[in-house]
Amino acid sequence: MLSRDELSRYSRNIFLEQVGRAGQERLKASRVFVIGAGGLGSPVLLYLAAAGVGHIACIDGDHLELTNLQRQVLYSTDDVGQPKATVAAQRVRALNPEVEVQAIVGRFTPANAAGYLRGYDLLIETSDNFPTKFLANDAAVLGGIPLITGGILRFEGQVLAVRPGETACYRCIFERPPPADAVPNCAQAGVLGAIAGIVGSLQAAEALKLLTGAGEDPAGRLLTLDLLDTALRRIPVPRNPDCPVCSGPDGGAEIFSIEQKNYDETSV
């Protein structure tokens, strides 16, 4: 499956005992859907492409703003005003033309989520709002697609990998979205640009482990990072037997279709 050029390009992956040629071929055969091309999405997209993930789709409805450049390292000043998804795909193709990239300028909504995720091996959520995080979790769990979700604020970040039906999901930890305006966003509270690079890189690393089978399965653990104190914690998360989405009909499940929920469709 790997050409001579690919064997050279990915040689540092292949030299890893835990990856090898078989793992690299699995990456080439993988299809990953990424929600968001911002602070977290930038390193996610770059490292997935650099590692040789065969097909990457990215959805984002935003246009680049000057304030984004403090942490969204995919872009340059000349890109201000351009659709993020379009520019991100151009950058990824320039980095690795061996990778298929699909840019979707638009929103991830209950109406299109199931269709977009059909045929994908992994969903990575990198948005900056709770409606999208809960929608991504529910769509992944109900669709049986592994999920890696991440978030950042100020100097802090977190990453959670989910295997539907096997490990805790996002709602097992955070059952309901917080009340509106209860949690400030980055525009209100600020964020250190480097935290986006670290957390996005962690998401990419967890994704590559999951896709290749290298090392311990990352699912079922919440990674939390505090750069102000330089502290990284790995917290095992048990499944919630009453989780509203993943506990099943014999548990406390209330959500059996994303269409039944009132997600905020104006956000990605």
**How many structural domains are present in the chain?**
1
**Mean of all residue pLDDT scores within the chain:** 93
State what percent of residues in the chain have pLDDT above 90.
84
Is 8 a member of any domain? Answer: no
Is 225 a member of any domain? Answer: yes
Whether pLDDT at 267 is above 50 = no
This prediction has a pTM of 0.95
Residues 224-264: pLDDT tens digits? 999 999 999 999 999 999 999 999 777 778 888 887 666 76
Whether pLDDT at 29 is above 50 = yes
pLDDT for 251 equals: 73
Residues 92-104: pLDDT tens digits? 999 999 999 999 9
Is 5 a member of any domain? Answer: no
Whether pLDDT at 12 is above 80 = yes
Residue 187's pLDDT band, with cuts at 50, 70 and 90, is confident
Is 4 a member of any domain? Answer: no
pLDDT for 249 equals: 76
Is 147 a member of any domain? Answer: yes
As a whole number, mean pLDDT of residues 110-138 equals: 95
Residue 175's pLDDT band, with cuts at 50, 70 and 90, is confident
User: Which of 51-55, 175-179, 258-262 shows the lowest mean pLDDT across its residues?
Assistant: 258-262
Whether pLDDT at 266 is above 50 = no
199: domain CATH number is: 3.40.50.720
As a whole number, mean pLDDT of residues 169-195 equals: 86
As a whole number, mean pLDDT of residues 144-162 equals: 97
Is 255 a member of any domain? Answer: yes
Structure tokens at 199: 């957390």
Q: Which residue range is the domain that position 172 belongs to?
A: 19-260
pLDDT for 189 equals: 85
Is 47 a member of any domain? Answer: yes
Whether pLDDT at 86 is above 50 = yes
pLDDT for 230 equals: 93
DSSP the chain: ---HHHHHHTHHHHTSTTTHHHHHHHHHH-EEEEE--STTHHHHHHHHHHHT-SEEEEE---B--GGGGGT-TT--GGGTTSBHHHHHHHHHHHH-TTSEEEEE-S---TTTHHHHHTT-SEEEE--SSHHHHHHHHHHHHHHT--EEEEEEEBTEEEEEEE-TTTS--HHHHS-SPPPTTSS--HHHH-B-HHHHHHHHHHHHHHHHHHHHT-SS--TTEEEEEETTTTEEEEEE----TT-TTTS-TTTT---S-GGGS---TT--
Is 153 a member of any domain? Answer: yes
